[in-house]
Amino acid sequence: MTTTRPYDRIAFVASASAEAQEALTGLVAAYGNHDPADADVVVALGGDGLMLQTLHQQMHSGKSIYGMHRGTVGFLMNEFSLHHLHERLAAARQTLINPLLMRATDMHGNVHLHHAINEVSLFRQTYQAARLRILIDEHERMPELIADGILVATPAGSTAYNLSAQGPIIPINGALLALTPISPFRPRRWRSVLLPNTAFVVLEVLEGDKRPVAAVADHDEVRDVRRVEVLTDKTISMRMLFDPGHSLDERILREQFTY
């Protein structure tokens, strides 16, 4: 009798790097390769950039995603090995990720919808700093922020650009978002705040004609925005798989003790 293993049908995706392509060749030879639409799990070979790309591609599929590090930054990836992949997948722990939904309105009144797994960011487009107004759940919290920009980060994205901008690291299961300014000029000492992941964040651009601002949801950019609304999209849950002892929770905890 044939026993069906968990995640028996594997789809492999890989970045274009020589390291990732070599890994792809070896894994396909050992385990075969299914079309992602027919697979039980998608295994991504590369770095965090490829993992984000794969999560976006599979956002509505319900597929589990398991990454192996064959790239530059590998915070979201497991260690690479050609061996015992079926056993590793069967033992892996699942982490659920909810993306952010960005609704950006540009200067012409056009509305752009994009999802972000790491963060939604606003950036100045010219040499002049951006002037922004911040509302949380329809209440004004800051009438004016003058800065290079601001970002809203998920727990999964809290160790990415958010951390570089001096934002807090959030445990992956924390029901929180980070709202972090980018190079703030006024208020000068304002660094970051934590919000519940139920928060409805509105970022209004002041003097947009003089100080144009772009909004970016991971890699999707909208230029000349006037208003950006951000909320957690609880209708979408993505499943990431991590080896025991190598979970995203554990890595986020370790990151806070790294100097």
Residue pLDDT tens, the chain, 259 long: 444 567 889 999 999 999 999 999 999 999 999 999 999 999 999 998 899 999 999 999 999 999 999 987 777 899 999 999 999 999 999 989 999 999 999 999 999 999 999 999 999 999 999 999 999 999 999 999 999 999 999 998 998 899 999 999 888 778 999 999 999 999 988 989 999 999 999 999 999 999 999 999 999 999 999 999 999 999 999 999 999 876 666 666 666 666 5
Rounded to whole angstroms, the Cα distance separating 76 from 241 reads 10
Is position 48 within any domain?
Answer: yes
Asked whether residue 178 falls in the same domain as residue 138, the answer is yes
Residue 131 in tokens: 């002037």
Asked whether residue 61 falls in the same domain as residue 162, the answer is no
33 has binding-site annotation: no
- Whether 92 contacts 242, CB under 8 Å: yes
Quote the pLDDT of residue 4. Answer: 56
Asked whether residue 48 falls in the same domain as residue 24, the answer is yes
Quote the pLDDT of residue 226. Answer: 98
Mark out the alpha helices in the chain (DSSP H runs): 18-31, 48-57, 85-91, 161-164, 248-255
Cis peptide before 187 (omega within 30 of 0): yes
Asked whether residue 207 falls in the same domain as residue 136, the answer is yes
Q: Exactly one of 38, 48, 106, 137 is catalytic; which is it?
A: 48
Place of tokens 């039980």: 40
38 catalytic, yes or no? no
Asked whether residue 106 falls in the same domain as residue 227, the answer is yes
Q: 213-217 and 220-222: which strand pairing?
A: antiparallel
Is position 43 within any domain?
Answer: yes
pTM for the whole thing?
Answer: 0.86
17 has binding-site annotation: no
Asked whether residue 122 falls in the same domain as residue 211, the answer is yes
Is position 157 within any domain?
Answer: yes
Asked whether residue 82 falls in the same domain as residue 153, the answer is no
35 has binding-site annotation: no
What is the residue type of 230?
V
Asked whether residue 32 falls in the same domain as residue 126, the answer is no
31 has binding-site annotation: no
Asked whether residue 109 falls in the same domain as residue 218, the answer is yes
Residue 49 in tokens: 């950039």
When divided into structural domains, the chain yields a total of 2
Is position 1 within any domain?
Answer: no
Containing structural domain, residue 249: 10-98+236-255
Helices (H) and strands (E) counted in the chain, each on its own, are 5, 16
Asked whether residue 73 falls in the same domain as residue 183, the answer is no
Asked whether residue 201 falls in the same domain as residue 134, the answer is yes
Q: Hey, CA dihedral for 168, 144, 111, 149, is it positive or negative?
A: negative
Q: Is 62 left (phi over 0), alpha (psi -120 to 50) or beta?
A: left
Asked whether residue 148 falls in the same domain as residue 226, the answer is yes
